[in-house]
Amino acid sequence: MTVSSKEEAANLGLGIDTGGTYTDAAILDMTTGAVLSKAKSLTTRGDLTVGISNAISALDKSLYNRISLLAVSSTLATNSVVEGKGCRVGLIVIGHDAVPNIPVDEIARIKGGHNLEGARRAELDLEGAREFVESVKNKVDAFAVSGYLSVRNPEHEIAVRDMVKELTSCPVVCGHELSSALGFHERTITAVLNARLIPIIADLIASIRKVQDKFNIKAPLMIVKGDGSLMGESVAKDRPVETILSGPAASIIGAKALTRLDDAIIVDVGGTTTDIGILRNGRPRLDGEGATLGGWRTRVRAVDVFTSGIGGDSRVVVASGKIHLSSLRVIPLCIASSTFPTLRPKLESLLGAKGRWVPSYMDIDTIPQVTEFFTFCKDVNGFDLTDDQRKVLELIRCEPRSLYELAEMMKVHPLSLNLKKMEALGVIQRIGLTPTDMLHAEGSYSEYDAEASRIGVKVQAEILGMPVPEFIQAVKTAAIEKITFEVLKKLVFEEVGEAKLDEVAMSLMNNMVRGTGRRDFACHLALNKPIIGIGAPVGAYLPSVANIFGTSLVLPEHSEIGNAAGAISGNVMETLELLIRPKKGLAEMENPPCTLYWMQEKKDFEHMDDAVQYARTEGGRLVKEKALASGADTVEVLIDTYRREAKLGGGWGGNILLELIITVTGVGKPRLFYEG
C-alpha cells in the first residue's frame, strides 16, 4: 500500500536534547512512539548548534523530508541563570522594595501597588517611571516590571508596560504575565530572569533555524518547558524563563514514553549530573512553589527534580591512599585522547610514576592529579589575566598539558599556579580520569579511545598499589553508592520536606546504602516503585542501585537517548488560575457578590454564579488562544475547581466559603508540518 506524502510526513518527529556533555537526537514515529533513528554527539558549549548539527548529521538522512515536527530541550536557560549570563535589564518595582542583590543593571522604585482585595494602596507614579525609562533606555536591553500584589490587580503593571513600549523598542516583561501566585519577590525574580534570557533564547532559536535550513528540515520548532510540555518558538522568545529545567523535564517525559509506565522513580545518569524525578499517575511531579535555580526561587512551573553532581564525567581523585569522587566535571581521558593525539604518549610516560605530595589542607577539588591535563576552551571578555595565566594559555592552546608539565616549562612550583578561576569561567577545561574511563578500561563501553583509559587507570592503580580490576570496581562502587544515596535523599525530602540531615539520619542512611550493618542492627531499603534508568551508562550502575532498594529496574531499549525521545513526546499545555472571593461579610449568602482576580483584570460580580461562568468562559478562551499560539493543533480545555472553606464549630451550620480557585488548562498535540 502506498502512503501519501501527507500521511507519511505526519508521522515523524525529531527530538533533540542538549545536555551538559552530550547532545542527543532521535527520530520517532509519532503515532507508535517507535524510535527510527538515533545519534549522540558531544555538546559544544561555546556554540550549541555545532553539537546539534553533528547529532542530526549522524541520523538516517532518508527520513529528513518526512520530519513534521522538531522539538528541543536545552540546558541553555538553566546554565545562563546559574552562570549569571543574559542581557542588561532595567527593573521597575511598584509599591515595594526589590529583593537585595537582584540581578539587574538599573532599578527604580515608584509609588503604586495594591492590597489583597485588589484596591489601590497608592496612586501610580507613572511620571517617575517615565523619567527612569528615558534615563536608562540606552543602557539596558530589556525591562521588567513588578507591582506589589499585581496578581490581585494588574492595572499598574499594564500601565507601565504600555508606557515603556511607547518610549522604547526594548522588550518589556510584567510579573503578572508569568505567574498568578502570590510572592512579590519570587514574581519579581521570575520577570527579571525572563527579561535577561530573551536574547539568549532568541539566538538559540535563530541558530537552530540555521541548522534546519542546512539539512532542509521544514518543520515547526517547539521548545520543551520546565514542566515537560511544549511551546512554539514565538512564545519561547517571549517567555524563555519557562525553559528552565527543560532537560530534566524531557528526561521524565521520555521515561514515560519509552516504558509506558505511569508510576516510577526516574534516574537520569548523564555525563555532568544525575537527575532524579518522580512520575506519578503518568505525570511528572512539579515543584509546587516554583523552580529554584542559582539560589533564586522563581514562580516557574517546573518538574521537581533533584540534581546531584555525579555523572559519567565526574572527577576521580586519588589522595591520601584513597579513591574519591568529586562533583567537578572533567573531560574523560578516552574522549580527550580521541581529539588530541599527543595525550596518549603523555599518559604512557607516567607509567611507574609515584604519587606527588600535596598539602593535607587541600580539598578534593583542588588536589592535582598526575593523570590530569588542561586544554584551552574559549576566551572570556572582561577577565584580566595575570602574567602566569597568560603564559599558561599560550602553552595549552596547541596541546593539553598537565599542571606539572606547565610548572616545569614556566620554572615555577606546580602549586603556585592557580588555575581555578580560569577553570570556573570556562577559559580552560580539565581532562582527567572519570567513571566513563572505568567503563572503557574494563571493556563494557568503548565509544572512544579505550587504551587511554586503560593507561590512566593503570597509572593511578599503581600509585595506590591496587590491581587494576580492584581499582575499577572501587570507582564503580563509589558511583553506585553515591547515586543510591542521592535517590534516597530525594525520597526522604519528598516525605518530610527538605531539611539538613543530622548525624543520626546520615548514619542510618549510610547503613542502608552500604549494607554494612552495625553490631546490633542492620537497615534495609524497600522502594515501592520501579526505577527507570535513562542515559548511556545506566546499565553499569543502576542494576546495583535497584538491588540495594529491593525493587525492579526498567532499562528501556533506547534509554541512552531518553531525553531526545521525551522532547518530541510532550503535549502543548497552557495553564491559568483564576481566584474568586466573596465580598467581606457576605460569604454566608447562597450566591454572594464577589470579586474575580486573574492576569487580565480585577472584576466585581453581583452573583458568584456569574463570576464562575465568566471565569470558565474567559479562562477557557484565553488558554485555548495561548495553546494555539504555542503551536497546538486542536485544544482540549480542562477545568478544575477547588473550594477553600472555613470550618465552623458544632451548632453553627455548614462551612463558610473563603475562596474558589479555578484552574483552566488547555492541552493539545503539536501542530505538524504537511508538505503542500
> CATH no. for residue 159?
3.40.50
Is 184 among the domain residues? yes
CA atoms lying within 13 Å on the CB side of residue 439? 21
Q: Report whether pLDDT(272) > 90.
A: no
32-38: long-range contacts, CB 8 A cutoff, minimum separation 24: 33/257, 33/258, 33/569, 35/557, 35/558, 35/561, 35/565, 36/12, 36/60, 36/63, 37/63, 38/558, 38/560, 38/561, 38/564
Give tens-digit pLDDT for 441-475: 999 888 899 999 999 999 999 999 999 999 999 99
531 lies in some domain: no
Same domain membership, residue 460 and residue 343: yes
Q: Does residue 8 sit within a domain?
A: no
Rounded to an integer, the average pLDDT of 242-270 is 91
Percentage of the chain modeled with pLDDT above 70:
95
Claim to verify: residue 439 and residue 322 sit in the same structural domain: yes
Three-point CA angle 374, 380, 386, nearest 5°? 70
139-155 confidence digits (pLDDT tens): 999 999 999 999 899 99
Confidence grade of residue 289 (pLDDT, cut at 50, 70, 90): confident
What total number of domains does the chain contain?
A: 3
DSSP assignment, residue 289?
T
pTM: 0.81
What are the CA-CA distances from residue 474 to residues 318, 386, 461, 470, 471 (Å)? 12, 40, 11, 6, 5
pLDDT tens-place string over residues 392-422 = 999 999 899 999 999 999 999 888 888 888 8
Q: Is the dihedral of CA 114, 189, 580, 161 positive or negative?
A: positive
Average pLDDT, the chain: 87
Query: Which pLDDT score is estimated for 517?
Result: 66
What are the pLDDT digits (tens) for 230-248? 999 888 999 999 988 888 8
- pLDDT number for residue 380: 67
Query: Do 342 and 458 fall within a single domain?
Result: yes
Say yes or no: 336 and 449 in one domain. Answer: yes
pLDDT of residue 59: 95
Closest CA to 128 of 173, 176, 95: 95
pLDDT digits 0-9 by tens, 178-190 = 888 888 999 999 9
Last residue of a domain, one of 417, 438, 473: 473
How do residues 596-648 score in pLDDT, each as one tens digit? 999 888 999 999 999 999 999 999 999 999 999 888 888 999 999 999 888 76
Grid coordinates standing for 49? 548548534
Parallel, antiparallel, or unpaired: how do β-strands 553-554 and 572-582 relate?
A: unpaired
pLDDT for 63: 94
Q: Do 327 and 468 fall within a single domain?
A: yes
In a domain, residue 300? The reply is no
Query: Which of 439, 473, 507 corresponds to the end of one domain?
Result: 473
Where is pLDDT greater, at 364 or 15? 15
Q: Say how far apart CA 90 and CA 103 lie, in whole Å.
A: 10
What does the pLDDT read at residue 146? 95
Question: Does any domain span residue 494?
Answer: no
Q: Quick one: pLDDT band at residue 581, thresholds 50, 70, 90?
A: very high
Q: Are residues 445 and 588 in the same domain?
A: no
Over residues 522-534, the mean pLDDT reads: 90
Q: In the prediction, which pLDDT does 3 show?
A: 31
Same domain for 323 and 457: yes
Same domain, 465 and 579: no
Q: What residue numbers bound the domain in which 129 lies? A: 84-199
Secondary structure of 158-189 in HEC code, one letter for each residue: HHHHHHHHHHCCCCEEEHHHHCCCCCHHHHHH
In a domain, 23, yes or no: no
**DSSP letter for each residue of 83-108:** TT----EEEEEESSPPPTT-S-SEEE
Would 501 be classed as within a structural domain? no
The answer to whether residue 12 is domain-embedded is no
- Residue 264: is its pLDDT beyond 90? yes
| Arithmetic mean of pLDDT, 521-537 | 88
- Does 461 lie in the same domain as 327? yes
Residues 346 and 454 in one domain: yes
Whether residue 674 is predicted with pLDDT greater than 60 in this model: the reply is: no
Identify the pLDDT of residue 85. 76
**Domain end (from 473, 507, 542):** 473
Q: Name every residue whose Cβ is closer than 8 Å to that of residue 203 and which is 6 or more positions away in sequence.
A: none
Query: What average pLDDT does this structure show over 331-353?
Result: 92
- Higher-scoring residue by pLDDT: 633, 353: 633
Shared domain for 341 and 463, answered yes or no, is yes
Cα–Cα distance measured from residue 190 to residue 200, given in angstroms and rounded to the nearest whole number = 16
456 and 592 both lie in a single domain: no
